[in-house]
Amino acid sequence: MTFTSHFDQRFSEPGASAPPWSDVSALLATAELYWMTTVRADGSPHMTPLVGLWQGDSFAFCTGPTEQKARNLESNGSVAIATGISTWNDGHDIVVEGTAERVIDADTLQNLADAYLEKYGEDWKFTTSEGGFGEGDEFAIVFTVVPSKVLSFMKNPHGQTRYVR
C-alpha cells in the first residue's frame, strides 16, 4: 500500500521535514497504547484508550459487543486512532483516520490473535471463535481500520505531515 506525503509548511517550524512513511509505520506498530475516537448515535464523540495492532498498513482492535465503541460502530464506522507522547517539545504523535470494518474471517482472526499474543504477551492471549475472540461473557468483536489519512506531528522541530493513499 502506498501513501503519498504532504508536508505542511503552515504548521511546521524551519528545519522540520516529513518523516519517511517507514518511521511512521514503525511507531504505529510498536506503540503499546492508542486512543480511539468513535461517534455516538447522537453525533457526539466518544474517546477511550485501548491496545491494538498495526499490521500491513491497517489498525486492528477488539472490543466487547456491549461496550460504547462497539455500539457506536454499529451506526457509524468512522474512527480516529491516536498514539504518541504527551509532551510538547519531544516525541512524535500520530493520528490515523478511517473506517472500522468487522473481521469475521477465521484465518484473519487467528493471525490477529497470534499477533496480540506476540506483542502483548499472555494477558492478551485470545482464542478465536465464530466471528471474534472468546465466548460468552469473554467474547470480543474484532475490527480493522484501513486509513484514509494519517497525520504525523513531529516535535523539536515541530512539523506536520499528512499521508494519503
pLDDT value of position 1: 62
- Residue 2 has what pLDDT? 81
Whole-number mean pLDDT of the chain?
Answer: 96
Total domains in the chain come to 1
* Per-residue pLDDT at 47 exceeds 70: yes
The tens digit of pLDDT for each residue in 55-83 reads 989 999 999 999 999 999 999 999 999 99
What pTM value is reported for the model? 0.94
- pLDDT tens digits for range 116-161: 999 999 999 999 999 999 999 999 999 999 999 999 999 999 999 9
- Contacts from 105-113 at CB under 8 Å and sequence distance 24+? 109/133, 109/142, 112/53, 112/55, 112/60, 112/62, 112/142
Which residue range(s) make up the domain with 154? 4-164
Residue 96: which CATH number? 2.30.110.10
